[in-house]
Structure 1
C-alpha cells in the first residue's frame, strides 16, 4: 500500500478530521471569494448596468458548475476507491478520461453558449445596455469552459488523494491571478465586462496547468499514465453514473432558488424580499465550511471502502457528521444569540420585528441538521452507489420541494420559511434513514460469516 494512504486506513478518525478539514474549509472560502471578484471590479469600474448584466448571467454559469459536479464526483469516487484497493490499472486512465470528457463537454457548452448567449440573457429579463453587457460577458466567459471544467475537476482529483492543502494553495493562486488579470484588463486596458471574463478565463488556464503539472509529475499517490485523448468506456460509464447525482443536485438548485425568490416577491413586499435576501445570504455562507468537511470525508470513505474496511468507512461518516454539526453550531451561535446584529451587517439602519428574527433563528437552527444529509450523500457517491445517490437527489425535488409551493399559499411569506425548514428537516431525515439502512445491510454479510 502506498504511504500516502496509510493515514486514511490507520489514523484516528478524529485526528484525520482535524488535519484535513481546515484546508478544505479554507479552500471553499477562497473559491467563494473568487465568485465576487468580477462583480466587484465591474460594479466599481464599469457601472451599474454592467454589473446588472453580469449578475443576470449567474444562472447560466450554473450549467458549467453542474458539469463540474458531474465530472468531479465520479472521478473522485473512482480515484479514492482505487487507491484503497491498490489498483493502479484503474488509475492510469483517470486523467485521460477526465481530459477527453472536459473537452467534449466544453465544446457543447462553449459553442451553444456563444451562439445563443444573447437569446438566453434576454430570456432572463435583460434589455438595452444590460442585455449588451450580459451578452458580451457570457460570450467571452464560455470560451474558457474547457479550462474551467478541467481546472476544477483536476483540483477535486487532487483532493481525492487527501492533498487538500495543496489543492487549497492552487485555488488561492488562481483567485489572486483572477484579481490581477481582471483588474489589468478592466481598468488598465479598458476592456470592460469582456476583460473581467478574460481574467477569469486566464486564471482558470493557470489553475488547470498547476493541477496538471502536479498530477503528471507523480506528486500524488495515483499511478497516472501518459496524457492523451482517450475514453475507456467502462471507466467513463462508471464516472458518469456516479457523477449524474451531483449533476442533478446542482442543476436543480437553480430551479429551487428561482422558485423561492419568486415566491417571496409574490407574497411579500420589497422590504420582506430584502430581508429574505439577507437571511438567505447568511444561511448560504454559513453552510460553506461544511463543504470543506465533506472534501475531507470523501477520500476517507473512498480509500477505506476500496481497501475493504467498510466498517471504518461507515465510522468515518459518523465522526465527520458530528464534526460538521459541531462546526455549524459554532458558526450559527452568533446568529442564534444576536440575530439583529448579524443581519444589520447586510441591512444597516433597519429595525427588525420579533417575528422576522424568529424566522431567521428557525433557518439557522435547521442548518445544524445539514451534515445528517450531506455526509450520507457523500458516502453513497464515494462508495460508488450511483443509483442510490441519484435517487436521493431526485427524491429531494419530488418529495420535499412541493412544500415550498404549498405552505406559502396558507401562511404567505411566513410559509416560505416554514417550507424551507420542513424541506431541510425532511430531506435530512430521509437520508439519515437510508444511510442507517445501508450500514446495516452492509454489516449483514460480516455477521453471517461470523456465525457460519
Structure 2
C-alpha cells in the first residue's frame, strides 16, 4: 500500500530517468499486487529447511525459477506484453512457490504444521523473533538506501551511463552474494540447534566449515570478476559503450569482494547464537555507517568523482569485514563459555 501511494518518486530515487520511468511503472504496478506471494514463499521456506527438509526447501525455489523462466518468453514475446509480461511471470512463479510451501507445511511430513488454533499473536514469542529478525531485515532494507545513494551520486557525476554501469555491477554482485547467503542461512539452523542443545563442539565445527567455505567462495568470485569482467557484464548488456564503462567499473566495485565471506559467515552466526545487539550493529556497519558516507564523501576528495563513488564499495567491504571478524573471534569464546556455564548450573 505504501509503495502504491509513492511509487513514482521512489522509482526516481532508485535511479529511474525519463527514458525508463514508463517501463518501471509498468513493472511495479503489477509486481506490487503479487508481493504477498514472495513473502509467503521465502518467509515460510525457512520453517521447511530448519526441520531438515533441505531438498523440499530447495525445490520450492527451483520450482519458482523454472516457472518464471518458462513464462517469461511466452508473456514477453509470445503475447507481446513486454515489461508487463515479465512482472506477471514473476508474480505467477512466486505464487506457485508459495502454494508449494504452504501445502507442505499443512501436510503430514512436517513437524511444524500450520494450524488455525496456533495462528495468533503472542508477545512472548513475537518479541524475540522480531529481535533476531531485525539484523537481516536491516541488511536487506538498507540495500535500498545504498542504491539511492549510489544512483543519485552517479547521476550527478557521470549521468545515465554511470547509473547503467552501476546497475550491472550491483546485479552481478547480488548474484554472487546469494552464494554466501545460501551458505550462511544453511548453517544457521545447525548452529542454533546445537548451541541450544549444548553441543558446543558442533557449533565450532559448523562455523569453521562455514567460514572457510565462504572465504574460498568469496576469493574465487573476486578472482573471476577481476579476471573476466567482460564475460559477466555481457550477460546483462551488449551495447559496446555501456559494456566498456561497466567493465571498468566492475574492476573497482568488486575489488573487496574477497572479504564478503568473512562478513556474511560471522554476522549470520551471531544471529544464530541469539546475539541480537551485535548482529544489529554489524548489519548497520557495512552499509549505513561505512558505505553511504563513503559514497557521499570520497568524491569530494578525489579528482575522478565517478571512480570515487565506485571505490566506496570495496573500501566499505574491507573495513566492515575486518571489523566484523575481529569482533566475532573476540566474542565467540566468551559466548560459548557462558553457555557452557549455564548448562553446568542448569537444574536437572
Task: Identify the match of residue 299 of structure 2 among 405, 408, 420.
Answer: 408
**Per-residue CA distance 1:233-274 (angstroms, 9 max, x = gap):** 211222111112222221111111221233233333666555
Q: Does 1:203 align with 2:93?
A: yes
Distance 1:196-1:331 versus aligned 2 partners, 3 A rule: closer
Between 1 and 2, higher relative CO (CA 8 Å, sep ≥ 6) is seen in 1
Distance 1:347-1:269 versus aligned 2 partners, 3 A rule: farther
- Please tell me whether the aligned partners of residues 219 and 259 of structure 2 are also in contact (alpha carbons under 8 angstroms): no
Q: TM-score, normalised by structure 1?
A: 0.63
Q: Root-mean-square deviation (CA), in Å?
A: 3.7
The 5 A counterparts of 1:433-448 are: 433-445=326-338
The 5 A counterparts of 1:50-449 are: 111-117=1-7, 134-181=24-71, 194-220=84-110, 222-224=111-113, 226-228=115-117, 229-268=119-158, 275-339=165-229, 346=237, 360-361=250-251, 363-401=253-291, 402-411=293-302, 412-445=305-338
Stretches of structure 2 lacking an aligned partner (at least 5 in a row): none
**Per-residue CA distance 1:201-256 (angstroms, 9 max, x = gap):** 33322211211222222324x34352453212211222111112222221111111
Q: For the residues of structure 2 that align with 1:138 and 1:344, how far apart are their CA atoms?
A: 26
Residue aligned with 1:143, SS:
helix
Q: For the residues of structure 2 that align with 1:351 and 1:137, how far apart are their CA atoms?
A: 23
- Please tell me whether the aligned partners of residues 221 and 257 of structure 2 are also in contact (alpha carbons under 8 angstroms): no
Using the TM superposition, give the Cα deviation of residue 422 of structure 1 relative to its aligned residue in structure 2, in angstroms: 1.6
Q: TM-score, normalised by structure 2?
A: 0.80
**Per-residue CA distance 1:16-75 (angstroms, 9 max, x = gap):** xxxxxxxxxxxxxxxxxxxxxxxxxxxxxxxxxxxxxxxxxxxxxxxxxxxxxxxxxxxx
- How many residue pairs get aligned? The number is 338
- Please tell me whether the aligned partners of residues 366 and 421 of structure 1 are also in contact (alpha carbons under 8 angstroms): yes
Residue aligned with 2:256, SS:
helix
- Please tell me whether the aligned partners of residues 217 and 261 of structure 2 are also in contact (alpha carbons under 8 angstroms): no
Stretches of structure 1 lacking an aligned partner (at least 5 in a row): 1-110
